[in-house]
Amino acid sequence: MGTVEPQAVAGAQAQLTDGFNLVVDAFKLNGIDTIFALPGIPITDLCRLAQAKGMRVISFRHEQNAGYAASIAGFLTQKPGICLTVSAPGFLNGLTALAHATTNCFPMILVSGSSEREIVDLQQGDYEEMDQLAIAKPLCKAAYRVLHAEDIGVGVARAIRAAVSGRPGGVYLDLPGKLLAQTMDAEAGRRSLIKVVDPAPRQIPAPEAVQRALDLLRGAKKPLVILGKGAAYAQADAEIRAFIERTGIPYLPMSMAKGLLPDTHEQSAAAARSFVLPEADVVMLVGARLNWLLAHGKGKTWGAKGPKEWGGQKFVQVDIWPQEADSNVRIDAPVVGDIGSCMQALLAGVGANWPKPPAEWLAAIAERKAKNIAKMAELLAKNPVPMNFHSALAVVRDIVRANPDLYLVNEGANALDFARSIVDMYKPRKRLDVGTWGVMGIGMGYAIAAAALTGQQVIAVEGDSAFGFSGMEIETICRYNLPVCVVVLNNNGVYRGTDVNLGGGTDPAPTVFVKGARYDRLIEAFGGVGAHATTPAELRAAIEQALASRRPTLVNAVIDETAGTESGRITNLNPKSAKK
């Protein structure tokens, strides 16, 4: 327990502690050793103290990026990632990441300093005055404010438990500036801290629910398993793989579930996605939601005639949150519990006599996969000048295959969509991308967190537009000397660099960037390595050199500016003007 200068109390010298020490000690007591932050009033000294007491403090250039780092730290570790910000504007900058964590079910705690309650409530115009708790509540799983030093232990404990229990999510913890300077008896402070016991207890599924699901799968003629990022978060890798391999059911991994089984696994149906979704008769969702990423379980994607209809599939859904069932279509067999316990229970019901899926179904999938893989191979074999997304990402594909332990961070429109289908993953939780919201700007925060927490190398494949959201954090990468290689796929604009000003003026079109921009020179300003690649050979050499040296590197990969498509693969969500 940290202490402050002793004071005379009733004629004796008493050891005191304060709010700064209590906050740090509460986190350390619960095994949290890293904070992602941007220092400033009133939390500057909190950052200094955390570092002095052995915590790692990664200081960012923008709070939103610190928040994204905290969110993905939660996904990787199953412990809440901590983002520390100043009040009002700093809090608001972190709030986007907090909402992103909640939407994606990542455990995260946004800790912000704030103005005093008595001033905020009377709206007296304090420095950065804002009722932050009220603003945060609708956007996170839980929100708490601590007003007294003796309650810091309770506040931190409640925030940790809320972040990781049940369906994980974001939590807001409000610490008014005056709280941090409050003092109390050091021994009483030590006793006030709480080490959270079993913060995410197992939730065992009901036996009848497990049996219902097994009966439905056993009778299926065209079964399919869909693995979501919730399955990856659960770290029930062995159970999931054993269930899929013992049952013989084909599986489709969502983007951040890639690598739970190698993408090259014979049961993977990823290369036949558009075929298996409408054809399957029983679909088992494991940590996946029937949201927009799966067309809400309806429409032509699922073989239905109308956009609001579903194709008649029966669904098994394995999820820790019972309210997720029936959110879009009828769930015939909900299995509610933590994914590890659910998969253990389902696996126990798969005996030696479990019927393999019909050979006709497996053969049809294999045929479609072979055709699509062959088409992709043709595209990847081409070597156009300048490079396109396929030829550039073919290099990344080969490097990931040779280095399966590295992390692949990926964002953009075309850069994201093409990479998802081109770059195979071989180990779980190695692909980190934009998630449920499809939000841009996660790249540098994710890359920093993955490298800082694991020591593993990171390749961040960025569209040039997406890179702009967090590009200044390359200074952070250099400052902490992290083994991150950023690859900017530079096609001179948003989607493409070929749009024109429809008004005929001299301003560039809204989607066009500076032609021939040299992003590689940005990192050189901070002591990192910049590389400029115009061919696949140059790109391969630059990435391999980055991996060999482990130095912070940015590769400006020049892509044909006509190569992209507007909105990537979600053009249906982009309304078109009749006067275009």
pLDDT of residue 144: 98
- As a whole number, mean pLDDT of residues 174-203 equals 97
Residue 5 has pLDDT above 60, yes or no: no
- As a whole number, mean pLDDT of residues 290-306 equals 94
Residue 268 has pLDDT above 60, yes or no: yes
Q: What is the pLDDT of residues 472-521, one digit of tens each?
A: 999 999 999 999 999 999 999 999 999 999 999 999 999 999 999 999 99
Return the sign of the alpha-carbon dihedral for residues 70, 71, 73, 78. positive
Residue 8 has pLDDT above 80, yes or no: no
Sole residue written with tokens 């595209």: 379
Give the N- to C-terminal CA distance of the chain in Å, as an integer: 65
pLDDT of residue 124: 86
pLDDT of residue 128: 86
pLDDT band at 58 (very low <50, low <70, confident <90, very high): very high
| Residue predicted with more confidence, 155 or 565 | 155
- As a whole number, mean pLDDT of residues 366-380 equals 96
Please state, in angstroms and rounded to a whole number, the distance separating the CA atoms of residues 421 and 376. Answer: 9
Torsion angle in degrees (nearest 10) through CA of 261, 267, 271, 275 = -130
pLDDT band at 576 (very low <50, low <70, confident <90, very high): confident
pLDDT band at 127 (very low <50, low <70, confident <90, very high): confident
pLDDT band at 39 (very low <50, low <70, confident <90, very high): very high
CA distances from 78 to 64, 166, 234, 511 (A): 21, 12, 8, 38
pLDDT band at 276 (very low <50, low <70, confident <90, very high): very high
- As a whole number, mean pLDDT of residues 348-376 equals 96
pLDDT of residue 573: 74
Residue 360 has pLDDT above 90, yes or no: yes
pTM score: 0.95
The mean predicted confidence, pLDDT, of the chain is 95
Please state, in angstroms and rounded to a whole number, the distance separating the CA atoms of residues 63 and 92. Answer: 9
- Closest alpha carbon to 153 in 192, 124, 120, 190: 192
Q: Where are the alpha helices (DSSP H) in 313-470?
A: 339-348, 359-381, 389-402, 414-422, 443-454, 464-470
Residue 580 has pLDDT above 60, yes or no: no
Residue 579 has pLDDT above 70, yes or no: no
Residue 260 has pLDDT above 70, yes or no: yes
- Closest alpha carbon to 370 in 454, 271, 477: 271
Is residue 44 exposed (0-12), middle (13-18) or buried (19+ Cβ within 10 Å)? middle
